[in-house]
Structure 1
Amino acid sequence: MVVGGGIGGLAVTLGLARRGHRVTVLERRGEFTELGAGIQLAPNAFHALDRLGVGEAVRERAVFIDELRLFDGTTGERINAMPLSEAYRRRYGNPYAVVHRTDLYRPLLEACRPLANVELLTGCQVTGYEQDATGATVVLAPGDLRLTADAVLGADGLRSAVRAQLVGDGEPRVSGHTIYRSVIPMERVPEELRSNAVSLWAGPKWHFVHYPISGGRALNLAATRDDGATEAVTGVPAGRAGVLEEFPGLSPRARALLELGDDWHRWVLCDRDPVERWVDGRVALLGDAAHPMLQYAAQGACQALEDAVLIGDLLGDAGDAGDRAADPIPRALTAYNERRGPRTAKAQWVAREMGRQVYHPDGVAAKERNVALSALSSEELYEKVDWLHGARDYARV
């Protein structure tokens, strides 16, 4: 039984169903849908998507990016760029791409829907779980309805009800960073401002990212301010004038791109510290429920997809609830936790440090960053991401 019908939940459902398991997905909302805007997919994500059988469907919707570019957001200086062309693709065996979140979500959902051994249920608010030696049970509100399965996988996100019971670490950590997002039609973007790249403009306590999505038909804008926000906010409308005021000192080109934004919404970014244990017997966490991370390494969805594939592999041949001798399901979930823990913890810490050391420094620290990063060759840039982009065993650190 999978709690949560987001990207991670559907990915693990697909992986398990294709290994012969019967899977029930419990989604709290009234429909299976995905909110949000742009998302970046490194080669490790495509390796996982190929294993799940939906790689080509996602590629058909994706924009394949030529380079990752870093600029000084105040001077406009191009600090460095990581080429993502043929040499990169040969090195990692897959491309780097950007998509709208729905262009990742829909192929997963469409692959799950026709499967006879998958049941997709909406309006299911899970409040906790119970278990014994024979199975695991989720408790639903209202009325404390109970549903039992061989295992329960919590893919219910940052504020996971399953995690609240399994880990008990309270509310997520508020990062103090506010992100403003807008998606605009590409026809509104002047030709001279278009590029087939992920471009990041780094400034003092802020940064601004933009790239094409939806097959190149739209431009995704994401501007982040280190403003000391203390309260979590999700998708609240933000006025255009107010957003522009939050990013003083932008270089002319970056400012012109930011001014294109309209219908802005804001989020206050949250994550959690890594934990050693996200498995309890026949209950396990994955994705943001297990290891939520800031967006700065662009690996949140990638790591959830890796989780899904490894769980499918480890549970692929595990016996059903009637196989008591070896108790294979708890053993498989423990192995998943042990193999994934160090890798996802490193990704969580790296994401935080990128915000502090690369994206938001000021004054002397910013100049030192520019000098250090501009000196790196393409090979040296690749070496820094090898452990992330090149992984195929999902345990590499």
Structure 2
Amino acid sequence: MPVTPSPLHIAVVGGGIGGLAAALATARAGHRVTLVERAARFGEIGAGLQLAPNASLALDELGVLPAVRHTAVAPPRLVMMDALTGDEVTALDLRGAAYTDRFTHPYLVTHRTDLHAALLAACQEHPDVTLRTGHTVAAAEQDGTGVRLYFAEGHARLAADAVVAADGLHSRLRQALVGDGEPTCSRYVAFRGALPTEKMSGRMSQHAASEAVMVWAGPRMHLVQYPVRRGELYNQVAVFESDHYTPESDDWGTEAELEERFGGACEAVRDALPLVSRDRRWPLYDRAPTDNWVHGRIALLGDAAHPMLQYLAQGACQALEDAVTLGQALGQYADPAQAFTAYADRRRERAARIQTNARRFGEICHLDGMGATLRNMLLSSRGPEAFEDISWVWTPAPATAPTL
């Protein structure tokens, strides 16, 4: 990336995958970065992540793809199964010539903590990245020369030329700048986690050995399975719609509902369900797309800008695309506000389209009755190299030349 004549000081708020990627991309563009994270230490929670080729490309451009590949698995197939009948509906070949000729970069599955660790290590090794934990942003003020961040813990304020808000789904900076309320709950909830593959037997052991990504689609529920961490762990995510959701209560999406919703599933799914982690439930949220990504010298990134449902497996992928595009813009424009505007202009339409289509794909996945029958009939006619409908998701828009 070209380096601007006068390096800037950019503050990044949030030490998750999007924030670390943004810090790394910004530093690689020639700027000094201070990343602040409210937790006492860096870390990630959750289970597996699917990294489509657009994410692998972004990781390659950030210089961390080899580290991620060291622990990730490259699945041979992406398979949709009918959760009620146990029949295969359709599958895509993720290692064949048709895939590699079209996408170049691999489709990977990894544990979220492994991806986070690779990005964190790269930031720790970069001389222009400073990492600070235990810093909760309470307020931000900006003028024509910079931005000042104030912290709830009473730390001295942080002055920077510009700020990237990568503080997640419930972004405080988004609320202060956009003021569009809380994200939308989909009424769906996920139970997810990874277990040692040695604990599996029978059909589950066979599925793990295949290394395929398995998506079991059913009425108002689905199960996703794939190996992570060199195949040592098997990731499982059980998702279902709750009949008892109320915005005022947390008593919905319970284990009892999980068992009830999956009660009519095929034997393979029922066998897997007892091994799905029950330690924590994850309500699923998104927002309608917004144009308000940039406010002067403050820009939103990742879930702070475009939280999406997981049905296209693109949440982390889009945050990585954001980071690469941000770094490109900051390497092309000396004025951070101008760079932020260019970044948002390049990313806004694509992210909005993926947000919207993630909702639609969730509806297709969770069809019942005749709708599910027609879905299966349509998809079963497709071959393993039928990438037409998904290629736009897996292929990021090319970077445009700067207008100076």
TM-score, normalized by length of structure 1? Answer: 0.92
CA drift of 1:77 comes to 1.4
1:288 maps to a residue whose letter is D
User: In the alignment, which residue of structure 2 is the partner of 1:342?
Assistant: 349
Aligned counterparts, 1:223-262, within 5 A: 223-228=238-243, 229-231=245-247, 243-262=258-277
2:395 maps to a residue whose letter is G
User: In the alignment, which residue of structure 1 is the partner of 2:394?
Assistant: 389
Q: Distance in 2 between matches of 1:192 and 1:153?
A: 44
User: In the alignment, which residue of structure 2 is the partner of 1:324?
Assistant: none
1:303 maps to a residue whose letter is Q
CA drift of 1:354 comes to 0.8
- CA shift digits 1:292-320 (9 cap, x unpaired): 0011100000100010011101101433x
Q: Distance in 2 between matches of 1:232 and 1:208?
A: 28
User: In the alignment, which residue of structure 2 is the partner of 1:273?
Assistant: 288
User: In the alignment, which residue of structure 1 is the partner of 2:4?
Assistant: none
Q: Is the 8 A contact 2:332 2:339 kept in 1?
A: no
CA drift of 1:145 comes to 4.7
User: In the alignment, which residue of structure 1 is the partner of 2:231?
Assistant: 216
Does residue 1:367 correspond to 2:377, yes or no? Answer: no
Does residue 1:308 correspond to 2:313, yes or no? Answer: no
Q: Over aligned residues, Cα RMSD in angstroms?
A: 2.0
User: In the alignment, which residue of structure 1 is the partner of 2:114?
Assistant: 103
Q: Distance in 1 between matches of 2:181 and 2:32?
A: 32
Q: Out of 112, 127, 130, which is 2:138 matched to?
A: 127
Does residue 1:178 correspond to 2:197, yes or no? Answer: no
User: In the alignment, which residue of structure 2 is the partner of 1:39?
Assistant: 49
TM-score, normalized by length of structure 2? Answer: 0.90
Q: Is the 8 A contact 2:135 2:155 kept in 1?
A: no
Q: Distance in 2 between matches of 1:170 and 1:142?
A: 25
What's the % identity of the aligned pairs?
Answer: 47
User: In the alignment, which residue of structure 2 is the partner of 1:146?
Assistant: 157
Q: Is the 8 A contact 1:193 1:257 kept in 2?
A: no
Q: Is the 8 A contact 1:166 1:278 kept in 2?
A: no
Q: Is the 8 A contact 1:232 1:267 kept in 2?
A: no
CA drift of 1:219 comes to 0.8
User: In the alignment, which residue of structure 1 is the partner of 2:173?
Assistant: 162
Q: Out of 12, 34, 43, which is 1:24 matched to?
A: 34
SS of corresponding position for 1:68: strand
User: In the alignment, which residue of structure 2 is the partner of 1:203?
Assistant: 218
SS of corresponding position for 1:382: coil
SS of corresponding position for 2:371: helix
Q: Which runs of 5+ in 2 are unaligned?
A: 1-10
Q: Out of 144, 169, 189, which is 2:200 matched to?
A: 189
Does residue 1:79 correspond to 2:89, yes or no? Answer: yes
Q: Is the 8 A contact 2:188 2:253 kept in 1?
A: no
Task: Provide closer, same or farther for how the CA distance between residues 267 and 90 of structure 1 changes in structure 2, counting only shifts above 3 A.
Answer: same
- CA shift digits 1:7-57 (9 cap, x unpaired): 011101111112221100010000011111000001111111111110110
CA drift of 1:233 comes to 9.5
CA drift of 1:329 comes to 1.3
2:349 maps to a residue whose letter is P
